[in-house]
Structure 1
Amino acid sequence: MYEPIRTQSVHTVTGTPSDFPHRSREEELDIQLAGHLAALLAVTDEIRALAPSGDLDTAAARLTEQVARLRGGISPVRASTAPESRAAALHQRAHALAGRALVVAASRADTAAAILAAERMDAHALATGPRALAAH
């Protein structure tokens, strides 16, 4: 009733080199975490342009350090200012980005990045107030 398979499955062929590079789960998580932290840095830079503070300067420096570490020493591109941006919306976006970074950092057991992301979540939650983030 069924015709037998005459060729070997591509999934069972061993010893053949792949046409594309494979990354480990850890490498993929590094890339994902670096992306989340770089996005958080961009929003942090925008907030710093609207309301400069020492806390945000320190956070930006720490975020830059973590992104560079995860990218093998390559520093992230810094955001330009957007004067028409609203501070509350930026804090909400930064809170969400920090949350995503925290999830990835926790999954790869990166304590330094997880602590930094959690601290940034707290800082942005305080900046917008609990009602603004709960509604978002």
Structure 2
Amino acid sequence: MYEPIRTKSVHTTMAGSSPDFPHRSREEELDIQLAGHLAALLAVTDELRALTPSADLDAAAGRLTEQVTRLRGGHAPARPSLTSAAPEPRLAALHRRAHTLAGRALVVAASRADTAAAILSAERMDAHAEAEAGRRALRAAG
């Protein structure tokens, strides 16, 4: 049905046995991916902090910074300065985006068995889902 592969893989031919070819383990790749998701969540959290300052968001930003720094081997994430408030629809979109990013981080954290990152991601998912539900309830009442 299928014809067997008769040639060598391009990947092994190109890489050969060269020691300078970068090889990363699955764990290292997952660390990079998790750090990326958490850094993106931190960026959205910082935007939310600029729009609606709160102690919860401040604490979440601090914990996210700690996790990203840990996963990046001590390199702290770049963070923008806080800006002024924006219109209401943007706030709802930011909460949805943060919820999605936290979900992605949770999946990667669970696959690499990183309990601290998984707990933080789950807490952030709950917080953003709650914030979005509260905003919908206020809109429906008013």
**TM-score, length basis structure 1:** 0.82
Matches within 5 A, 1:51-130: 51-80=52-81, 81=83, 83-84=85-86, 86-129=90-133
What does residue 45 of structure 2 align with?
Answer: 44
Deviation at 1:83, TM superposition (A): 3.9
- The one-letter amino acid of 2:61's match is A
Indicate the structure with greater helix content. 2
Tell me the alpha carbon deviations over residues 82-124 of structure 1, each in whole angstroms, 9 at most, x when there is no partner: 7436111100000000000000000000000000000000000
| Number of aligned residues | 124
What does residue 34 of structure 2 align with?
Answer: 33
Check the 8 A contact 1:101/1:117 in 2, yes or no: yes
Percent sequence identity over matched residues?
A: 75
| C-alpha distance in 2 between matches for 1:48 and 1:131 | 16
Tell me: CA distance 1:131–1:53, structure 2 relative to 1, closer, same or farther (3 Å): closer
Deviation at 1:20, TM superposition (A): 1.9
**TM-score, length basis structure 2:** 0.79
Deviation at 1:36, TM superposition (A): 0.1
Name structure 2 gaps, 5 residues minimum: 1-5, 137-142
3-state SS, counterpart of residue 129 of structure 1: helix
Name structure 1 gaps, 5 residues minimum: none
Q: CA RMSD in A?
A: 2.3
Check the 8 A contact 2:48/2:94 in 1, yes or no: yes
Deviation at 1:19, TM superposition (A): 4.8
- The one-letter amino acid of 1:34's match is A
